Chain A
């Protein structure tokens, strides 16, 4: 570097000389800023990706857990639906097993010449008798219901008096036996 080429101390020279470092400074600063922003951006991306990854794996685990609990529920349902369990439940509510003897044959042509299967005569007689007994009992109950209250009260009093008299008699007898 020859001394001739060196800048002079005048103003213009000074301004020219000062302008170079400022430019460098700005450039460096800009680069530095871009670098820092870039670093921040990359770091943010990195940490957010890790964050998403963690959330993702949590959700995946949750799905797996839900699926396995779904399977467990299916298993529980199957256990509840097993014939042995159903039979127990049915017996609890008073259902009977279905067999051919429990089935009534449905005949779609009611007007056809085929006669319906007649019940054995013993069964018929039994049913009639049950009906008769049932109706007689129900009539008695009805009659009792129709009685006026006064009559019922009078009957009750009579019954109570009788009971008292019976008790007294029994007590007297007991006393006599004890004395003997």
Chain B
């Protein structure tokens, strides 16, 4: 049996053996693969999330970046504010091997002392911090320099700078290329890109760039091989303003000159298109550079044109007269008796030393008669006067798209005193902003239709498609006939009244001066030593294209009346911007030296200037002659008169030469000496030739 079994064992088929072995191997593989499969199932089902997180942490970075803030353009598509990408250098102090060397290297390029950087790094190391700013918002040139200097060739790091522990982070920097131009309108944004003033503040929601989160997959060398945006946010929008940078610049220049010449505390100017309500320029002085927002003072940031309330004084008489004419309370061609030179209302005596006769309403407005204005206001009555003032928009904000606009002060009739109506008729007991007054004058310039002033022309997507376009909101205030009457009355003010310095070369102009005492909040009385001098006018008279309001706060240089301080600024602005706006001149070009105040004979004889110039209700004023003698002229005028003097001197010299030669030749003296042309005649020509020159085009 044993033999048989041995034989049987020996006779085992080799193929079977092979097959068995093969099957064993297969079984081993099946087991192996099965084990792997089980492990895989375990990893992918039970541990998948933990593993995914671990893997992602190894290769993925989450980046948070903010979209660039929206751009602010002017109406000519020039950029007033825009953001650019900049880089900031930060350090992870734990990774830095030699802190002192690092601080020294960085400080060398930044041209600063290394002590500060060293101190920050050491403090962070001690505190266990992993993030320290070394230099924020560095310019491109410095970035390149730092990258070159900090390069460590042996370091395996993909991102720049190739230095252990130092990294760049992208940020954005707000830039204002035109510096202080329209600074109060545009405003500024702080280091965190949050609007702090002007349009930057009021349109924060529209301009602010959303924060975008992104994944970045990196390989073992730190190279990014995949990116993915987590959230898709809408990019911020751009804003187009109604401001014209060129006009704004000219206005700012003229205002600065005017403020310096009159030694005023501050000044403000608004240039408005009466037909569309678009603000072409809004200037304040003193001003600031929004690029250096750390250095600005609250006074400079303040947009006085919409935030400061002041007593308007005589410029408010426009409201009194327009209300009276529109409600047929007075006839604009009628006469008013101002013989007393004063008027007493509820025990309050209002003096009016420069209007002491029976005169037309036009003349009364021209000489800024207080008695005439008070009589007109009293004739109108409380309710009507209040109603019209409300219609003009006093006591309520204009709704301009700028922050912190003041409402002004206009009390309801129930709270008025006995003399309140009289005071309000001449612009006291009322608080207005320059924009409210400019808006009122623009309504008169626009045939009695008030257009809501606005500073935003359109808001558009970053691609350029408009998102919102501002449309003019029109409200009729007074009839076109009333507006025409008032325009002709205001024209008289410039031609014969208190605003002769607002006469323009080449264009007709109209407007009203105002000089008001300032209210002292401490004493709760008006301060007799402090004034607000203003002039609001428009040009050309027949078809006004611009309304310009100039307000000077506390002029101290001797001259203080609106006609002396603000009207020349109006003239300078209007003469520069009207040709630029392609407005055809509607009057003869009058030479600078034919200004009213340079022709005393004309003032005394032909124009019949009032003995005392525009004063609001200020008593005890100097006469015009004395003023001219005593008061120092504003520097703008001084410069002009200097130039004129120089030209006159040269002319005189030439004349003398001609005379001598004439004598030598025994000729009679030249014609110009024989019959000097009266300068006043030229002024008259200016008014007569209005229609004849209207056809002409300007040629530069």
Contacts and interface: CB of A to CB of B under 8 A. Distances in A.
Interface of A: 1, 3, 6-7, 17, 21, 24, 50-51, 53-54, 56-57, 60-61, 64, 68-69, 71-72, 74-75, 78-79, 81-84, 97-108, 114, 117, 120-123, 125-126, 129
A143 to B, nearest CB: 22
B525 interface: no
B375 to A, nearest CB: 39
16 contacts: A3-B13, A7-B13, A17-B15, A57-B226, A68-B84, A68-B85, A71-B85, A78-B177, A99-B575, A99-B576, A100-B579, A101-B505, A101-B591, A103-B699, A104-B699, A126-B654
Given A3-B11, A100-B504, A126-B651, A75 B177 contact: yes
Interface string B234-260: 000000000001100110000000000
A40 B79 CA distance: 56
Interface residues of B, number: 63
Nearest to A105: B696
Nearest to A73: B84
A123 B693 CA distance: 23
Contacts of A56: 225
Contacts, number: 147
A45 B695 CA distance: 79
B677 interface: yes
A71 B589 contact: no
B699 A60 contact: no
Interface stretch (B99-107, B216-224, B262-270): B216-224
Contacts of A53: 217, 224-226
A58 B271 CA distance: 50
Given A75-B79, A99-B579, A117-B588, 6 more contacts: A1-B16, A72-B140, A78-B177, A78-B178, A122-B655, A125-B670
A19 to B, nearest CB: 11
A107 B694 CA distance: 10
A23 B217 CA distance: 47
Contact of A74 (B8, B82, B227): B82
Contacts of A68: 84-85
A101 B592 contact: yes
A17 B8 CA distance: 21
B280 interface: no
Nearest to B177: A78
Interface in B1-42: 8, 11, 13, 15-16, 18, 22
Contacts of A107: 695-696
Contact of B79 (A6, A17, A74): A74
B698 interface: yes
A103 B672 contact: no
A6 B16 contact: yes
A106 B698 contact: yes
A152 to B, nearest CB: 31
A71 B68 CA distance: 11
Contacts of B655: 122, 125
Contacts of B589: 100-101, 103, 105, 117
Contact of B585 (A1, A72, A100, A126): A100
A50 B224 CA distance: 9
B64 interface: no
A51 B591 CA distance: 76
B575 A82 contact: no
A93 to B, nearest CB: 17
Given A6-B13, A103-B506, A121 B592 contact: no
Contacts of A99: 505, 575-576, 579
B477 to A, nearest CB: 31
B578 A100 contact: yes
Contact of B219 (A3, A17, A50, A101): A50
A17 B13 CA distance: 11
Interface in B65-102: 68, 78-79, 82-85
A125 B658 contact: yes
Interface string B338-381: 00000000000000000000000000000000000000000000
Query: Which of A84, A97, A122 has its CB near the most chain B CB atoms (within 10 A)?
Result: A122
B670 A121 contact: yes
B306 to A, nearest CB: 23
Contact of A57 (B83, B225, B250, B592): B225
Contacts of B11: 3
A122 B175 CA distance: 53
Given A50-B219, A104-B699, A114-B692, A75 B175 contact: yes
B700 interface: yes
A155 to B, nearest CB: 29
Interface string B492-506: 000000000000111
A106 B696 contact: yes
Contact of A97 (B216, B506, B576, B697): B576
A82 B177 contact: yes
Nearest to B505: A100
B671 interface: yes
A78 B405 CA distance: 30
Contacts of A98: 576, 579-580, 700
B15 to A, nearest CB: 5
B651 A122 contact: yes
B657 interface: yes
B12 to A, nearest CB: 9
Given A54-B224, A120-B672, A122-B672, A100 B657 contact: no
A78 B77 CA distance: 10
B439 to A, nearest CB: 27
Contact of B82 (A1, A75, A108, A114): A75
Give the 9 A-B CB pairs with smallest separation, nearest first: A53-B225, A106-B699, A83-B249, A121-B672, A78-B177, A100-B506, A100-B505, A68-B85, A57-B224
Contacts of B580: 98
Contacts of A24: 22
B617 to A, nearest CB: 35
Contacts of B179: 82, 84
